[in-house]
Every structure is written in structure tokens, then in C-alpha cells.
Amino acid sequence: MLNAVILATVVLAAAIMIWPRLANSQVWRATITPLASIIGSGFLVLGPILDVSYGGYAPLVMVGLCVIAYLFGAAIRFNIADIETRADPSRLLTGLETAASVVLAFAFIVSVAYYLNLFGAFGVSLTALNDAYHANLLTTAVFLLILFTGATRGFTALERMEQVSVGLKLAIIAGLLFGLVVHFGQVTGQGALQFDPPQVTGWAGVTLMAGLIVTVQGFETSRYLGATYNAPLRIRSMRLAQWISTGIYCLYIGLLTYAFESDPLSLDETAIIDLMQVVAPILPLLLVVAALSAQFSAAIADTNGSGGLIAEATKGVVQEKLAYAMLVSVGILLTWTANIFEIISYASRAFALYYAIQASIAAIRASQRGLSTQMTAFAILALMGVAVALFGTPVE
């Protein structure tokens, strides 16, 4: 019965998202891009990581991650507004923007490895070949497919999958949350809710949290939608995307933390599948479908974005096709030399450095406008971003 209700919830959520009044809304179209990026791969791995690492304090850590992401988003929103009113930046600001683009391109390269390693892990998770070796083989094959497609035909055909996969992913997440609400209610009725002790505390807990920033990243995509949406709409939609994702993430972590017993020995990239098997047999299959579609579309988007940024930053010296080859080479190297938690940490540190540069740009722009309070706040944010980039650590 629960399987049928969860499936009905997924169908209803999908129907709402393709409802013409919502789908054709300019605000929603501008919101869905950053929202889909924020609630991406991280959603699948973050729950078990926080539950095992922080125990009953996991929801507080989740709130902390969302607050940090919102503050970095505020710096980027300030820059979007300021660029709109002052089109001629100084040489310093131009140099920082170029540096930010280079760092973001590198962050995309690492994040593609992160997405496709999750793709490989989930791709074999329900098969007889469920081991690291075959997951890495699948990941490598997809990397080579992306390289071949980008080098020969471009990404137009593959990009058509993105809009469909975004709606599918969000609909499945709605079904997951419904199943968790039912399970939470059942556990509450049995008086079996639990508050597990944290496995990671002190400075190690802080640095691990820093290494998870990538799981709530994605809001920065609004910064680069200027050709499609004006500045006020991009600012509004980015803020809306962060509010919605914060609500979803905090509900998800709260339901997961107290209704399941944490098991450090079972922590891997696909741990969520085993947990959801307890809730309803249909959820593991739905999560694998969501994971495969989300990882593939996200990898395509970031591969495209990285190629474009590298070509732009090098003024065409490095062509996009060569950039794709560089990305795939680094991605395959990471696949066979690092585990998924190390890749998550590398990606978090790269994005944190990008946010630090954006916060520095916001501090300079605020200073030029005589906004001392904002300048101080953005300068502190920049230092925080540098600290995350230096000290973020992977899950052990």
C-alpha cells in the first residue's frame, strides 16, 4: 500500500511541475536551474554522512551548511545587482572575475568527477556487480562517452535530457520525503525515536562540515544567467531556490536522523539505498533512477560550463574540445585514485575558493559605494571561504 502511495506522490509532484501555469512562469524557470543544482548529488549522500558523523546534532549541522551557503549567495547577489548598475569594473575587479572563472572551471572539473563517481556507484548498486571496481569501470565509460560526444557532436542532444531529469529528480524526492514522514510517524508511535551520539566532534567536526559545502552548492548558477534573465529576477530566483532547498534539506535530515539507527560501518556513497529499503521496497529503485538521471545531466551541464569558462579565461588559447579532454583526464584520474568522499572534499574546497573570490569582489564593490557594514561582512565571508578551502576534510 505504501509503495502505491509513494508512487502516486511522485506522479502528483511531476504533474505539478509540468502544470503549464507553473512550468511557464518566468520566476519558476529562473528558480529551477539553481534549485536543481543545489538539490543534486549531495542530497543522496549527505543524509547518511551527517547521521553517522554528527548523530542527533545532524539537523543543526544541516542548518549551518544552509546558512553558510545563503551568506555566500548574498555576496553573489550583491555582485549581480552592482554589475547591473555599474557596467565598467576596475582592472582589479576584472582580474578577480577572471580568477573566479578559472577557479569555477576547476571546481566544475572536480564536481563532474563527483557526479559521475556517484553515477557509477548507483549504477551498479542493485546488480551483482556492486563493487568499487565495476563502479569505476562504469564511471570511466561515461567519461569517455562525454568526451566523444563533446569532441564530435557537441552537447546539444544530451542537454535535452536536463529539463526532464530535473523534474524527475524533484518528483522522486517528493516521494522520498513522503515515505520518510510515514516512517517517522511509525517510529514515533512505537516510541523508538533515538538520539545517537556524534562520531565526529570538535575541530574534526568543523573541518568535516567545511568539506561538505559542495552538497549545498549550485546557487551560483544564477550569476551566469544574465543572457536569459534580468538582475532583479536572478536575485529573486536565487534567493527562492535557496529557501526551498533549505526547507527540503532540513526536513530530510530531521526525518532521517531520529528515525534510523546510525551505523558507521555501513557508510558509503549508496548507504541511502539500504536505509530506504526499510521504508518501502520501491524507494531504492526510485532513488537509483533519480541518481542516474541527476548525475548524468549535472555532469553534462558542468562539462559544458567548464569548457566554456576555460576557453573564455584563456581567450581561446585552450579550445573547448581540448578543455573537455583535460576534464575527462582529471576525472578518470580521480576516479581510480580517490574515493567519493575525498572527491567531495576536493570539490567543496574548490567551490569555497570561488565563493571567497566572489565575496572579495563584493567587499571591494561595497567599499567603492561607501557601504562599510556590507564591506566588513563580505570581507569576513571571504576569509571564511579561504578557511574552508584550506581546512575542509573528507569523511573518514
User: 374-393, pLDDT tens digit by residue?
Assistant: 999 999 999 999 999 998 88
Q: pLDDT tier at 74 (50, 70, 90 boundaries)?
A: very high
Most confidently modeled range among 43-57, 65-79, 101-115, 188-202: 65-79
The domains of the chain are located at: 2-391
Mean of the pLDDT values across residues 270-279? 80
| Cα(80)–Cα(230) distance, integer angstroms | 10
User: 213-272, pLDDT tens digit by residue?
Assistant: 888 888 887 877 776 788 889 899 899 999 999 999 999 999 999 988 777 656 677 778
Q: pLDDT tier at 356 (50, 70, 90 boundaries)?
A: very high
Decide if pLDDT at 164 tops 70: no
Instruction: List % helix, strand, coil for the chain (3-state, nearest 5).
Output: 80, 0, 20
Fold for 2-391, please state it: Amino acid/polyamine transporter I (1.20.1740)
Tell the burial category of 76 from Cβ atoms under 10 Å away from its Cβ (0-12, 13-18, 19+). buried
What pLDDT score does 364 carry?
A: 92
What pLDDT score does 283 carry?
A: 86
What pLDDT score does 156 carry?
A: 56
Mean of the pLDDT values across residues 344-350? 87
What pLDDT score does 145 carry?
A: 84
| Cα(328)–Cα(318) distance, integer angstroms | 15
Report the share of the chain in percent with pLDDT over 90.
Answer: 25
Q: pLDDT tier at 118 (50, 70, 90 boundaries)?
A: confident
What pLDDT score does 243 carry?
A: 94
Decide if pLDDT at 205 tops 80: yes
User: 45-60, pLDDT tens digit by residue?
Assistant: 888 889 889 989 999 9
| Cα(366)–Cα(364) distance, integer angstroms | 5
Find cell 526510485 and name the residue.
286
Mean of the pLDDT values across residues 310-319? 73
Mean of the pLDDT values across residues 308-335? 80
Most confidently modeled range among 31-40, 55-64, 80-89, 264-273: 55-64
| Cα(39)–Cα(18) distance, integer angstroms | 18
Find cell 533515538 and name the residue.
194
